[in-house]
C-alpha cells in the first residue's frame, strides 16, 4: 500500500464518490487516481455504479460513475490509518475541503 492509495481510500471514506471529486480532495492527478480506483474495484475494496438518471437530469448533466467503499475497503482503510499515522484527521479535513469554485 502506498500513501497515494491510502489518500484515495481516505477520500472515499470522507464522502467523495466521484473520480474528479477525489482528485479535488487528494490533489492527486487524474492519471494516478483512476488506476487506483480501478485496482480497488478489481480487489473488491470499492463498488462502482452509475448514478440514477433522475439526479443527473436535475443538474442538467449526464449520469456520473459513483464509487463507494465496501466493508473490505473500510478494513483496508483501517490498516492504512495504522500505517500512515500522519493521516489521522485527514479525513475530516477532506470532508471539509470545499469543491473548487
Partner 1 sequence: MMHRLSLALLRLFATLVPLRDRGEWLAEWESELQARRARLASRQRLTPEQELDMFRRVLGSFHDAAWLRRQFTLDADVVHDFKHGARLLRRSPGFTLLTVGVLAIGIGATTGIFSVIDALLVRELPYRDPERIVLVFETDAANRRAIEGVAPANFLDWHPHVRSLEPVSAIEPFGFTYTEGSEPQSMPGARVSSGFFEAFGVAAMYGRTFTPEEFTAGRNNVVVLSYGTWAQRFGADPTVVGRVVRINGQPTTVVGVMPPSFAPRLMTTFNERGVWAPKVWAEHEYRLRGSRHFNAVARLKAGFTSDQAQSELEGIAERLAQQHPGANRGKTMQLVTLRDHLAGDLRSSINVLGASVLLLLGIAIANTANLITTRATARTREIGVRSALGADRGRLVRQLLAETLLLAGVGCLLGLLVAYGTARLIVWLAPGDIPALGSIGLNTRVLLFSTALTFIVAMVTGIVPAWRGAGIRASEALTNRTTGHAGARPGGIGRSRFAIAELALAFVLLSGSGLLFRSFATLLATSPGFAPEGVAALQIFVRGPSRTPAQMAAFYQQVIDEMKSVPQVRDAGAVSVMPFLNTTGGSSVPIVIDGQAVPAPGNEPSALVTVATPGYFPVMRIPLVEGRLFEGHDDASRAPVALVSSAFARRHWSTGSPVGQRIRVQIQGNPIAAEVIGVVGDVRHDTLDRPATMEVFVPHAQVPYSAMTFVARTSGDPKAALPELKARIYLSAPGQAVYRTAVLQDLVASTLHDRRFMLTLVVVFALVAVGLAASGVYGVMSLVSAQRTREFGVRLALGAKRGEILRMVMRQGVALTTTGIAIGLAGALVSGRLLQRFLFGIGSNDVLTLSAVCVTLCGVAALACLLPALRATRVSPIAALRSE
Residue ranges that bind partner 1, judged by CB under 8 A: 18-20, 23, 29-32, 34-35, 38, 56, 59-65, 99-101
Quote the CA–CA distance of 47 and 21 in Å, as a whole number.
Answer: 16
Closest to partner 1 by CB, 32 or 84: 32
Q: Which residue has the cell 483496508?
A: 76
Angle between helices 71-83 and 3-13 (to 10 degrees): 130
Closest to partner 1 by CB, 24 or 70: 24
Least distance to partner 1 from the beta carbon of 23, Å?
7
Amino acid at each position: 500500500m502506498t500513501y497515494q492509495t491510502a489518500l484515495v481510500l481516505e477520500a472515499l471514506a470522507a464522502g467523495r464518490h466521484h473520480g474528479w471529486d477525489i482528485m479535488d480532495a487528494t490533489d492527486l492527478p487524474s492519471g494516478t487516481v483512476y488506476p487506483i480506483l480501478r485496482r480497488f474495484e478489481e480487489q473488491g475494496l470499492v463498488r462502482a455504479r452509475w448514478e440514477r438518471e433522475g439526479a443527473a437530469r436535475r443538474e442538467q448533466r449526464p449520469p456520473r460513475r459513483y464509487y463507494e467503499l465496501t466493508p473490505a475497503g473500510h478494513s483496508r482503510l483501517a490498516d492504512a490509518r495504522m500505517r500512515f499515522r500522519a493521516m489521522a484527521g485527514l479525513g475530516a479535513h477532506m470532508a471539509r475541503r470545499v469543491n473548487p469554485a
